[in-house]
Structure 1
């Protein structure tokens, strides 16, 4: 049966957020990708067999592989936010404007497979040995200050949360974490749900840091805090050389969209 109408305020709120942030498509994609027109009148959320499903004209959405997207009872808010993504599409569908749906589909189509999950864990642990949050330069002063402000709290939280030692260095080629720390994190990541692992994968790749991604999906830091940590080096350069309006603004928005989506899907996951 359908969920109660009061839940629609979440859909309306999500619609306003996505419109304000300008991530709805009003024109077809480039010639390299086929343009897919909006084919539904309205998006919503239904409760079916104890699960939440996002619907387009009362038809549940499916993953690219054809699996029906079903969300747990604890993920009601996520379901409405996903519906908001679809509601705010314009004439053509933009894949970049469906970040929540993309993560959920990744968790179902890819990360429900044991071998794929193991490969993703291996890939994420490689970031641990080149982690930007573990690279602490000694100059310039602006960079050192930003590293202390944004990197150090995340490193300290990781040490305490998982009981591991984390090496810091100013030389990326000298950075090497211990086998004990690596195996401890491997165990942690292996126990993540498919959806949480999908969120961590996306956040880590965007931030170039497993530690920042972990702090985000474990809700130790906000998406904005994670973005500031991920942009320590670029923000240091901006302070020295100035702001490039178009390039920096686009990068800032894209990063926050990815990190925000990664944080949202892990609520109740």
Structure 2
């Protein structure tokens, strides 16, 4: 019996081809099967994880995908945990160095360190809401980052960058995969690590990374494009945080 492949990353919708999604207990790992056929990722690796909680969530995700659509269609957005799991298995695990290097680019240019130079409501909120996380980075991670105002780039201390990198080296493959979604959404490695550490709730993370948008809308009124952007960030962070929790 041939395995069912995971849909590719194309935005095109696929037709649901199964009736039941289930967990396959394989010694110390758990796979997902569709009508008894094991699911494989685009690169050919089996969709298999070590966490039963994550496997159950993956099976439930596949059980729901396309189920309520009139034409039984589904797409990658219906399978967020599967997409992150696929990244963990086929990209992170084979080459952790590349994943760490990519995340470190955000650490070198962490959005947490770039504050407005115009004063006003945004500056006040940055001082009140961002400064504590710079302090957390220094105390919890040992990474004392330098903040700046305006858009001119700031070079972070080498020691701080080394501490951030050491934190990533110590992270699990699943946490690196989750960070691969969360950090670009936040524009901040530090906030991503706080989310991973469980000390930064998703709602607070969304608020911190969209301070500019919030201040703009408070002054000029709601903007659909900004609201859509905030909703996308919220969805990405929720998926990443849930994945990292389930994978442990």
CA distance in 2, matches of 1:259, 1:55: 27
Cα RMSD, aligned residues only: 1.9
Aligned residue among 154, 160, 165 for 1:175:
154
Pick closer, same or farther for the CA change 1:60–1:150 going to 2, 3 Å: farther
Q: Which residue number corresponds to residue 76 of structure 2?
A: 95
Question: Within 5 A, what are the aligned runs for 1:1-269?
Answer: 33-72=11-50, 75-90=51-66, 91-114=72-95, 117-245=96-224, 247-267=225-245, 268-269=247-248
CA distance in 2, matches of 1:155, 1:87: 42
Q: TM-score, normalised by structure 1?
A: 0.80
Task: Note if contact 1:130-1:175 (Cα within 8 Å) is conserved in structure 2.
Answer: yes
- Offset at residue 211 of structure 1 (A): 1.2
CA distance in 1, matches of 2:128, 2:60: 35
Residues 138-147 or 256-265, more deviating:
138-147
Counterpart secondary structure, 1:164: coil
| TM superposition outliers: structure 1 runs of 4+ over 4 Å | none
Which sections of structure 2, spanning at least 5 residues, go unmatched?
1-9, 67-71
CA distance in 1, matches of 2:61, 2:226: 24
Equivalent pairs, count: 233
CA distance in 1, matches of 2:170, 2:20: 37
Q: Specify which structure has the higher proportion of strand.
A: 2
CA distance in 2, matches of 1:159, 1:145: 21
TM-superposition CA deviations, 1:232-262 (whole Å, max 9, x none): 11111111111113x2332222211110111
CA distance in 2, matches of 1:215, 1:33: 31
- Offset at residue 138 of structure 1 (A): 4.5
- Offset at residue 67 of structure 1 (A): 1.0
Task: Note if contact 2:43-2:90 (Cα within 8 Å) is conserved in structure 1.
Answer: yes
Pick closer, same or farther for the CA change 1:54–1:149 going to 2, 3 Å: farther
Pick closer, same or farther for the CA change 1:238–1:39 going to 2, 3 Å: same
